[in-house]
């Protein structure tokens, strides 16, 4: 799919263009030329689309056609499942409902099979049984009012404190539970925005972060009116460019951000070096350890060399860590930890003018299910240090076996990106279309690898369900690479074609339109 704007620019448009370039240059004079050009192109596209909507109708139609085709290919009708678009006149019985749910569920990937490399972190039946039982025991309780449900308050306080101790916080460290990494990041960004306004009067807040930081930071920036200053990676070692990082810091900077590790490639950001910048410019530093927070501490205890990332670095003022990833709780639990209460208090909202009573809330949500709190507490207490260390050691054995096996592949010039610190592996190639390889791995062998770009790569996050898969995985990978080398036309099909199409779109704004249209159709009847 290639979309090109075919439009003549007259003298009026040229004047507008010059004005826009001048204005953008003033605002973004510290950015690289490439970023400046991309920003200008996107701004001009949006301006032109608003001003001359009829001229862009064909682009919208082509996007609609492409998305419709992708939706029809990826969401076929479910066999023997009734459509239910209206509330039934008479409620259905238990047997019917359970039968329908079983049939609907049969269309899902089974994470226990060890062929899914994202989203789920299955463990073992005994552990999952007790966690689910705990979840169900408290699922109808509401953490909105800790005075009414003191059980939830007790478990939440203990989960927070266990996480603080695990990440080497001292007696002043505080935290809260959230419903996931995204909410933890949202609340961190909101806290630092409010703090900067309160203490320093900063009304145009900015944060500095690597391009590999989780998109939840961009989501938070859009929600809360914060400007993001992204740092590119060095081509030589796929690490954050520290010189560029420092150039992006200015009088409006409210926060520096680093990941432990970053999700796309599983690489640790140079947190100690970024901490030195935080000290130099007297800025707070948030470490996003959503995926590594409940893995890296045990990896260190297993004897692996783990670069410092937690509260042992004095400039680290907050850490986010997900319990529903390598903490092995049910979906919907994370912690946001602060160095002390001076930082945490900016997360909270208090409102005293409501006729319904005094209102105070620690996070985005008001009502919070007690089930996730109970499941988090149960999972951590059930696993214990010994359980976490056992899983980490076995997962790392598989991780190293796969990485070493990739290096020995005789075809396709497949390479692991950088030096992954834990259980995330990403691979790329300058010879074979890596997305085509992922397509063959899925269609022929059932491995559901994640596709990435910039650079084009495929990603795998290993969990306990993957322990021992290395031999079969590497055999299938070798065969898939050979298939792609033998059939170059595969790059014109499946996800390879879609990513090639996205990369050919000349404007980021059009790619954004494409994805938004995709999401719109995904959650619509037709």
Q: What are the tens digits of pLDDT across the range 430-439?
A: 999 999 999 9
189-203 pLDDT, tens digit each: 999 999 999 999 999
What is the chain's alpha carbon radius of gyration, rounded to the nearest angstrom? 25
The answer as to whether 30 is a domain residue is: yes
The answer as to whether 233 is a domain residue is: no
β-strand pairing of 174-178 with 285-288: unpaired
Nearest by Cα to 337 from 140, 178, 465: 178
Indicate the pLDDT class of residue 275, thresholds 50, 70 and 90.
very high
Interatomic CA distance for residues 489 and 502, integer angstroms:
18
Percent pLDDT > 70 in the chain is: 89
The answer as to whether 22 is a domain residue is: yes
**Is the pLDDT reported for residue 28 higher than 60?**
no
Q: Are 464 and 122 in contact (CB under 8 A)?
A: yes
The answer as to whether 58 is a domain residue is: yes
The answer as to whether 52 is a domain residue is: yes
Query: What is the reported pLDDT for 311?
Result: 98
The answer as to whether 48 is a domain residue is: yes
What's the average model confidence in pLDDT over 385-409? 97
Query: What is the reported pLDDT for 2?
Result: 36
Query: What is the reported pLDDT for 505?
Result: 58
Percent pLDDT > 90 in the chain is: 69
**Is the pLDDT reported for residue 9 higher than 50?**
no
Indicate the pLDDT class of residue 317, thresholds 50, 70 and 90.
very high
**Is the pLDDT reported for residue 524 higher than 80?**
yes
Indicate the pLDDT class of residue 358, thresholds 50, 70 and 90.
confident
Indicate the pLDDT class of residue 5, thresholds 50, 70 and 90.
very low
71-129 pLDDT, tens digit each: 887 888 888 999 998 999 999 999 999 999 999 999 988 889 999 898 899 999 999 99
Q: Are 20 and 43 in contact (CB under 8 A)?
A: yes
- Judging by beta carbons within 10 Å of its beta carbon (0-12, 13-18, 19+), is residue 144 exposed, middle or buried? middle
**Is the pLDDT reported for residue 19 higher than 60?**
no
Query: What is the reported pLDDT for 282?
Result: 98
The answer as to whether 47 is a domain residue is: yes
Q: Tell me how far apart the terminal alpha carbons of the chain are, to the nearest angstrom.
A: 22
**Is the pLDDT reported for residue 1 higher than 70?**
no
Indicate the pLDDT class of residue 7, thresholds 50, 70 and 90.
very low
| 55-64, 348-357, 467-476, 515-524: the lowest-pLDDT one | 55-64
Indicate the pLDDT class of residue 489, thresholds 50, 70 and 90.
confident
**Is the pLDDT reported for residue 12 higher than 60?**
no
**Is the pLDDT reported for residue 379 higher than 90?**
yes
Mean pLDDT of the chain: 89
Selected residue with higher pLDDT from 73 and 34: 73
Query: What is the reported pLDDT for 500?
Result: 64
Q: Specify the number of domains making up the chain.
A: 1
Q: Are 164 and 333 in contact (CB under 8 A)?
A: no
Residue 243 token pair: 């010189």
Query: What is the reported pLDDT for 433?
Result: 93
The answer as to whether 182 is a domain residue is: no
| 26-30, 62-66, 206-210, 240-244: the lowest-pLDDT one | 26-30
User: Which range of residues forms the domain containing residue 63?
Assistant: 11-71
Query: What is the reported pLDDT for 146?
Result: 83
Q: Are 318 and 160 in contact (CB under 8 A)?
A: no
């Amino acid at each position: 799919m290639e979309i090109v704007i075919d439009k003549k620019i007259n003298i009026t448009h040229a004047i507008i263009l010059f004005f826009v370039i001048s204005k953008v240059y003033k605002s973004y004079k510290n950015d690289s030329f490439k970023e400046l050009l991309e920003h200008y192109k996107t701004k001009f596209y949006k301006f032109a689309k608003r001003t001359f909507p009829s001229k862009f109708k064909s682009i919208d139609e082509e996007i609609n056609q492409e998305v419709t085709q992708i939706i029809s290919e990826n969401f076929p009708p479910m066999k023997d499942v009734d459509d239910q678009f209206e509330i039934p006149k008479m409620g259905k019985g238990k047997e019917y409902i359970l039968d329908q749910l079983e049939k609907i569920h049969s269309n899902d990937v089974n994470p226990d099979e060890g062929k899914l490399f994202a989203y789920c972190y299955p463990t073992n039946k005994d552990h999952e049984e007790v966690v689910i039982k705990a979840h169900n025991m408290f699922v109808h309780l509401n953490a909105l009012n800790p005075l009414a449900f003191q059980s939830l308050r007790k478990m939440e306080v203990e989960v927070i404190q266990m996480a603080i101790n695990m990440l080497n916080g001292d007696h002043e460290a505080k935290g809260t539970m959230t419903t996931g990494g995204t909410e933890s990041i949202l609340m961190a960004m909101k806290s630092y925005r409010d703090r900067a306004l309160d203490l320093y009067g900063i009304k145009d807040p900015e944060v500095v972060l690597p391009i590999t930081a989780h998109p939840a930071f961009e989501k938070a920036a859009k929600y809360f009116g914060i400007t993001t200053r992204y740092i590119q990676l060095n081509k030589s070692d796929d690490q954050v460019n520290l010189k560029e990082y420092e150039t992006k810091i200015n009088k409006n900077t409210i926060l520096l951000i680093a990941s432990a590790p970053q999700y796309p490639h599983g690489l640790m950001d140079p947190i100690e070096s970024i901490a030195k910048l935080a000290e130099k410019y007297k800025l707070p530093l948030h470490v996003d350890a959503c995926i590594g927070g409940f893995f890296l501490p045990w990896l260190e205890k297993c004897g692996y060399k783990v670069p410092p990332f937690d509260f042992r670095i004095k400039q680290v003022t907050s850490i986010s860590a997900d319990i529903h990833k390598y903490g092995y709780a049910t979906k919907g639990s994370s912690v946001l930890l602060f160095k002390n209460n001076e930082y945490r208090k900016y997360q909270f909202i208090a409102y005293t003018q409501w006729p319904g009573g005094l209102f105070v809330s620690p996070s985005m949500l008001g009502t919070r299910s007690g089930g996730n709190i109970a499941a988090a507490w149960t999972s951590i207490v059930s696993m214990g240090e010994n359980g976490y260390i056992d899983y980490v050691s076995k997962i790392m054995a598989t991780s190293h076996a796969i990485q070493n096996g990739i290096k020995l592949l005789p075809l396709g010039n497949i390479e692991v990106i950088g030096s992954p610190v834990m259980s995330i592996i990403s691979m790329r190639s300058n010879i074979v279309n890596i997305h085509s390889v992922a397509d063959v791995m899925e269609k022929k062998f059932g491995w559901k690898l994640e596709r990435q770009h910039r650079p084009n790569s495929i990603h795998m996050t290993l969990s306990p369900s993957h322990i021992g898969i290395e031999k079969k995985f590497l055999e299938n990978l070798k065969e898939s690479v050979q298939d792609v080398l033998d059939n170059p036309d595969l790059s014109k099909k499946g996800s390879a074609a879609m990513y090639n199409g996205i990369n050919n779109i000349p404007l980021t704004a059009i790619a954004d339109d494409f994805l938004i249209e995709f999401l719109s159709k995904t959650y619509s009847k037709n």
